[in-house]
Chains A and B, each alone.
Chain A
């Protein structure tokens, strides 16, 4: 049961252009959404997040959009840089008690930014 879906396993974008990574979820109890970036041989690194009470959060070149009615979120990277080439994981969380947040991850989208 995939509660968080990233339907595109890979994406190639020209340097300087916009990268748009998409994510869909099914669990309406999710209240916080995150994007993690992962380079080979490293752990996932937090990139940006958004609470379910917002529809947009921006941090430099990265913007996350949330459409709750569609249960869809997207990550926009503009302009894309070669160093952005990595696997991007969408994750969603719901409060699971005692201050603990269990993250449910998508399968990831491998972004390749072509110089």
Chain B
């Protein structure tokens, strides 16, 4: 069964450092997303991406965040200067046209 893969599974970084989280969406999907879940809280939408550009972003997705699809398969989330409150599980997801998103297993980011 096709799946969304994410790397790394866990990243520990120092505050102020740049972090790149990587995702390989399902190959025939056209829409890509990043969500995050801070420990003990709900899963929150960050950004959606279609046709090589951001289609929507939340208030969380400020200038410190960026997304890129550098080639035909990868979809990355970059956090330029990490803060303590960026510590969370980051989920990549992809979809075709329907509402059903397929999520990856997540990348846990710990900012010290």
Residues in chain A within 8 A of chain B (CB atoms): 32, 34, 36, 41-46, 49, 89, 91, 93, 96-108
- With A100-B31, A100-B50, A100-B55 known as contacts, the answer to whether A44 contacts B97 (CB < 8 A) is no
B45 pairs with A107, CB closer than 8 A: no
The answer for the CA separation of A89 and B103 in the assembled complex, in Å, is: 13
Cβ distance B25 to chain A, nearest Cβ, rounded Å: 12
Residues of A within 8 A of B44 (CB): 105
The answer for the CA separation of A103 and B31 in the assembled complex, in Å, is: 13
A46 pairs with B104, CB closer than 8 A: no
A46 pairs with B101, CB closer than 8 A: yes
B51 pairs with A105, CB closer than 8 A: no
The answer for the CA separation of A34 and B89 in the assembled complex, in Å, is: 21
Encoded as 1 (CB less than 8 Å from any A CB) or 0, chain B from 72 to 112 comes to 00000000000000000001010101111111111000000
- With A99-B30, A107-B41 known as contacts, the answer to whether A49 contacts B99 (CB < 8 A) is yes
Interface size class of B (residues with CB under 8 A): 20 to 34
The answer for the CA separation of A42 and B43 in the assembled complex, in Å, is: 13
- With A99-B31, A99-B97 known as contacts, the answer to whether A43 contacts B55 (CB < 8 A) is no
Cβ distance A70 to chain B, nearest Cβ, rounded Å: 22
Residues in chain B within 8 A of chain A (CB atoms): 4, 6, 30-31, 35, 41-45, 48, 50-51, 55-56, 91, 93, 95, 97-106
Cβ distance A94 to chain B, nearest Cβ, rounded Å: 10
Cβ distance B56 to chain A, nearest Cβ, rounded Å: 5
A102 pairs with B45, CB closer than 8 A: yes
- With A43-B4, A97-B55 known as contacts, the answer to whether A102 contacts B102 (CB < 8 A) is no
The answer for the CA separation of A103 and B33 in the assembled complex, in Å, is: 10
Identify B55's interface contact among A34, A46, A96, A103, CB under 8 A: A96
B48 pairs with A46, CB closer than 8 A: no
Residues of B within 8 A of A43 (CB): 4, 6, 91, 93, 103-106
- With A46-B102, A49-B100 known as contacts, the answer to whether A107 contacts B31 (CB < 8 A) is no
The residue of chain A having its C-beta at the shortest distance from the C-beta of B106 within the complex is A43
The residue of chain B having its C-beta at the shortest distance from the C-beta of A89 within the complex is B43
Residues of A within 8 A of B42 (CB): 89, 105-108
